[in-house]
Amino acid sequence: MNTAIRFFDQSLNFLGEIQNYISLRYTCKWSTYGAFTVVLSGVPPLAKMDNILMLGKDQRKNGIIKYVQYNQASDETTIKGHSLLWLLSNRITVPPDLAYHTVAGTVGEIMAAYVRTNAATPTEPARKIPQLEIGNISGVGGTTRYQTRYKVLLDEITTLSKASNIGVGVELDYHQKKLVFMAYEGLDRSVNQTVRSPYILNPAHYNVTNVVVTENDIGTKNCAYVGGKGEGAERSIHIVNPELTGFARRELFVDARDMESALDLRERGLQKLADTVKADSYEYDTVMGDYGIRWDLGDFVTLHDKNFGITRTDQITEVEIAIENTGTTITPTFGIPEKTLAEVLTPTGGIVE
């Protein structure tokens, strides 16, 4: 039986649900917004542009419709869109005093400050995203310091997420009619811990039906020259990972003249390098019953496959759910996925040029 798709208007009023759809493909992502594609029979009145949807009663699996296409020949309607975190891509980080918005604290506190200032409770009422609130995320993640000025809000949140392994999302609280920005910490379910039952993905255990292994070293950087205040020979420069040599050394320059303290240059360099790491990923088609029970998005699990010589612990960074007439497929991705064309053309980061 298909998972019901529940539909809401932009005021989060419940409109109805559809369960007899032709197919559904939903991708959850740990550091940015997800995406969905649904194929429906006929012209359902619920499949309207800018309606909001949710899979079953899972508040984290939601989306807003941004594409509708009807094909008369097949009498089918296709809708596509993004998870609600995408809404933050429509705001920029306007500093409160027109200089730089600098925040020090846990990753959750920094994210909350930027979302609050630019989308949840901005000083300009026109900038508020309706129904958006901040969840209890102050203690999430380690401590750091970050600066931003007139950057895409979501890009800054994604940069902080990738640098800290902290997940992000906007949950749909349909009971209270709220959109809640959240940050998450993944659980360690690897063989390296004893707190909870470990989870091992291994074809020999019959919990894997297909494996796609990708290595992509294009665009990787690992050594950053971070330029602070000053001009010419007087400019302060901090080198991140100066010990790297030869072919292994891949440099980039980070303009951080906006940083108030030279002590923050290393942190800026590390944050930028986090967006250029090697895209090694492992996609596993897994058995349905374990997802959401023995493992979930953001968890660290152990991968073992003697055919590829793989034995490693990695974080689940994406999960794709595909529901079709042939059945349901769950595909988690581990490591750093390849960037889409849109991500390549739209650079992210906290660098103020």
pLDDT at 66: 96
Whether pLDDT at 14 is above 70: yes
**Which has more pLDDT, 347 or 190?**
190
- Taking the C-alpha atoms of residue 117 and residue 49, their distance in angstroms, rounded to an integer, is 28
Whether pLDDT at 119 is above 80: yes
- Neighbour-count burial of 127, counting CB atoms closer than 10 A to its CB (0-12 exposed, 13-18 middle, 19+ buried): middle
Where are the alpha helices (H) located in the chain, listed in sequence order?
A: 107-115, 153-164, 265-273, 341-345
pLDDT tens string 19-57: 999 999 999 999 999 999 999 999 999 999 999 999 999
Helix (H) or strand (E) holding 143: strand 143-148
Q: Which two tokens stand for residue 182?
A: 């959240």
Residues 6+ apart with CB under 8 A from 291: 319, 330, 332
- The CATH architecture annotation of domain 88-185 reads 3-Layer(bab) Sandwich (3.55)
Task: Phi first, then psi: give them for residue 265, nearest 5 degrees.
Answer: -65, -40
Q: Which of 45, 111, 115, 33 is nearest to 77 (CA)?
A: 45
pLDDT at 281: 63
pLDDT at 226: 94
Whether pLDDT at 345 is above 50: no
Please tell me whether residue 239 adopts helix, strand or coil conformation: strand
Helix (H) or strand (E) holding 235: none
pLDDT tens string 289-301: 788 888 999 999 8
pLDDT tens string 56-67: 999 999 999 999
Region of poorest pLDDT, from 19-33, 68-82, 273-287: 273-287
**Which has more pLDDT, 268 or 62?**
62
- Taking the C-alpha atoms of residue 233 and residue 237, their distance in angstroms, rounded to an integer, is 10
Q: Measured on CA atoms in the order 199, 204, 208, 213, is the torsion positive or negative?
A: positive
Q: Which two tokens stand for residue 193?
A: 């811990």
The model carries a pTM of: 0.78
Q: Which two tokens stand for residue 101?
A: 């918005």
Whether pLDDT at 347 is above 60: no
pLDDT tens string 185-223: 999 999 888 999 998 887 777 777 677 777 777 778 999
Where are the alpha helices (H) located in 75-195, listed in sequence order?
A: 107-115, 153-164
Whether pLDDT at 353 is above 80: no
**Which has more pLDDT, 294 or 129?**
129
Mean pLDDT over 86-102 rounds to 91
pLDDT tens string 134-165: 999 999 999 998 989 899 999 999 999 988 99
pLDDT at 279: 61
- Taking the C-alpha atoms of residue 35 and residue 27, their distance in angstroms, rounded to an integer, is 5
Q: Which strands make up the sheet holding 223-227, listed edge to edge?
A: 237-240, 223-227, 251-255
Distance of CA 231 to CAs 114, 140, 146, 252, Å? 30, 38, 23, 19
Whether pLDDT at 341 is above 60: no
pLDDT tens string 164-186: 999 999 999 999 999 999 999 99
Please tell me whether residue 72 adopts helix, strand or coil conformation: coil
Give ranges for CATH 3.55.50 in the chain. 88-185
- Taking the C-alpha atoms of residue 254 and residue 265, their distance in angstroms, rounded to an integer, is 9
pLDDT at 340: 44
- Taking the C-alpha atoms of residue 323 and residue 234, their distance in angstroms, rounded to an integer, is 60
pLDDT tens string 288-336: 678 888 899 999 988 887 776 777 888 899 999 999 888 888 888 876 6
